[in-house]
Amino acid sequence: MLNQKTIDIIKSTVPVLEVHGTAITKRFYQRMFANHPELLNVFNHANQKQGRQQTALANAVYAAALHIDHLENILPVVKQIGHKHRSLGIKPEHYPIVGENLLGAIKEVLGDAATDEIIQAWAEAYGVIADAFISVEAEMYDKAEGQPGGWADFREFVVQRKVKESDVITSFYLVPKDGKEIASYEPGQYISVKMDIPGEEYTHIRQYSLSDAPGNPYYRISVKREDAIDDKPAGKVSVYLWEHVNEGDTLLLSAPAGDFTLDQQDDRPVVLISGGVGLTPMMSMLKTLVKTAPNRPVTFIHAARNGNVHAMRDSVEELAALHPQVKAFWCYEKPTEQDRAAQAFHKEGYIDLPWLQSLIADKNASFYFCGPVPFMKTINRALKEWGVPAQDIHFEFFGPAGTLE
């Protein structure tokens, strides 16, 4: 445990972290990759270039400093990051590397303001925080490996089927190469795919939500092809999966992880709201609900640019036709002429609160949403404006965690 003097020093740095946090974490990653380039095999290079990883880490460091005297308050964040670390293969031996370079970055960015006393306090605090992560992640590693069909690190899977779902999304059905049992998972969880792409110096690891219900002899991921847009480069892994990974090929997967999961003990209505490829965890939740909770009303709302990029529409409409508990609605930002002729959507433009209120009879429900960050900010703002309690609002970022406020 930290003594009161150390706690007071850490607390005194909170305003500084609020201002300089991202500069510190940006310098941290520069230092760490220069000193340990092998870690470039683990971290998402695109998130580094876009600054998302630096911002996420800055937010985590800020929260740790703010709650240094009550670290149990950030346990949900620790668990969320722990799931990601376990899926990537982060191990206890990585934490001293992080600590050394984080302290070095604090000293570099803050200069003389980072006194020896402050650096020493942060060294002590980092030790406590690192121990919390290591403890949580050790339990996760044990659970992932010890469960029926579980495994440690990465396991070979074969692409059994490759199915194009829309102009931008393709599904991959993956079965274990060894023919043995696979671990179950909670609806909403993801797996990591580890790839060595020809011509690339480093290994790439990406997380993809599982887009089918648990209980099948396969895992299904549904991958959006990320092409280059303006100054945003193309997604190396998604494009390679689309263009070069075919049925019969082998991929390396980590066991399912993630804390964005369907609460199956709650018997209230469920509202699933997605934008674009954010529908993947919602498909897992929807398919699970019709199997396991036939009396639980489900409202499935999806936003897409138009019908050409709307994946799995037929699958959802088939489920709605077979299961009266399911109601499905589509919002198209820019419908095509074919969409208009077929009356293929329920709203044009964007999801807003009045439309949500017209579809959902009672806000006493569990709300889950996922999609691009601007989309999620809109949904979050609408639900709060409606008065939906925070404990009934559940969401997940694709990539490093951010804020919707």
CA quadruple 77, 78, 81, 87: dihedral sign: negative
22 is in an annotated binding site: no
Give yes or no for residue 405 having a pLDDT over 80: no
Could you tell me where in the chain the CATH 1.10.490.10 domains are found?
4-146
Q: Is 207 annotated as a binding residue?
A: yes
Annotated catalytic residue within 62, 95, 185, 332: 95
Question: Are the C-beta atoms of residues 367 and 393 closer than 8 Å to each other?
Answer: yes
**303: CB partners within 8 A, 6+ apart:** 273, 274, 275, 276, 330, 331, 332, 333, 350, 351, 371, 375
Three-state secondary-structure class, residue 190: strand
Q: Is 297 annotated as a binding residue?
A: no
Q: What is the mean pLDDT of residues 57-65?
A: 87
CATH 2.40.30.10 in the chain is located at: 154-254
Is 88 within 8 Å of 146 (Cβ atoms)?
no
pLDDT score of 43 more than 70: yes
Mean pLDDT of 66-80: 89
Range 154-254 has CATH code 2.30.110.10: no
Catalytic residue among 29, 62, 126, 137: 137
User: What does the DSSP 8-state code read for residue 234?
Assistant: P
Task: Say whether 169 sits in a helix, a strand or coil.
Answer: strand
For residue 32, name the pLDDT band (cuts at 50, 70, 90): very high
Is 95 a known active-site residue? yes
Class of domain 4-146: mainly alpha
DSSP letters for 201-218: SS-EEEEEEB-S-TTSSS
Task: Tell me the mean pLDDT in the region 265-283.
Answer: 97
pLDDT band at 230 (very low <50, low <70, confident <90, very high): confident
How much is the average pLDDT of 303-330?
98
Question: Model confidence at 20, in pLDDT bands (50, 70, 90)?
Answer: very high
Q: Kindly report, as residue ranges, where domains of CATH 3.40.50.80 are found in the chain.
A: 270-396
Q: Grade residue 228 by pLDDT with cuts at 50, 70 and 90.
A: confident
280 marked as part of a ligand binding site = yes
Q: What pLDDT, on a 0 to 100 scale, did the predictor assign at position 44?
A: 77
pLDDT classification of 47: cutoffs 50, 70, 90? low
Please report the sign of the dihedral spanned by the C-alpha atoms of residue 369, residue 374, residue 377, residue 378. negative
List of E strands, 225-379: 250-254, 270-275, 298-304, 326-332, 347-348, 366-370
pLDDT for 89: 94
What average pLDDT score do residues 196-215 get?
A: 95
Calculate mean pLDDT across residues 12-31: 92
Give the strands of the sheet with 298-304, arranged side by side.
347-348, 326-332, 298-304, 270-275, 366-370, 393-396
Burial-class residue 342 by CB neighbours within 10 Å (0-12, 13-18, 19+).
exposed
Lowest mean pLDDT among 148-152, 312-316, 336-340, 401-405: 401-405
Is position 137 annotated as part of the catalytic site? Answer: yes
Q: Within 10 Å of residue 88's Cβ, how many Cβ atoms?
A: 19
Q: Is the dihedral of CA 346, 350, 351, 357 positive or negative?
A: negative
Supply angle C-alpha 152, 155, 158, rounded to 5: 160
Environment class of residue 326 by beta-carbon count within 10 Å: exposed (0-12), middle (13-18) or buried (19+)?
buried
**Is 208 marked as binding a ligand?**
yes
Q: How far apart are the first and last CA of the chain?
A: 33
| Average pLDDT, integer, range 2-24 | 93
Between residues 43 and 400, the one the model is more confident about:
43
Q: How far is it, in rounded angstroms, from Cα 102 to Cα 121?
A: 13
**CA atoms within 13 Å, Cβ hemisphere of 30:** 12
Q: Which fold has domain 270-396?
A: Rossmann fold (3.40.50)
**Which H helix or E strand runs over 158?**
strand 154-164
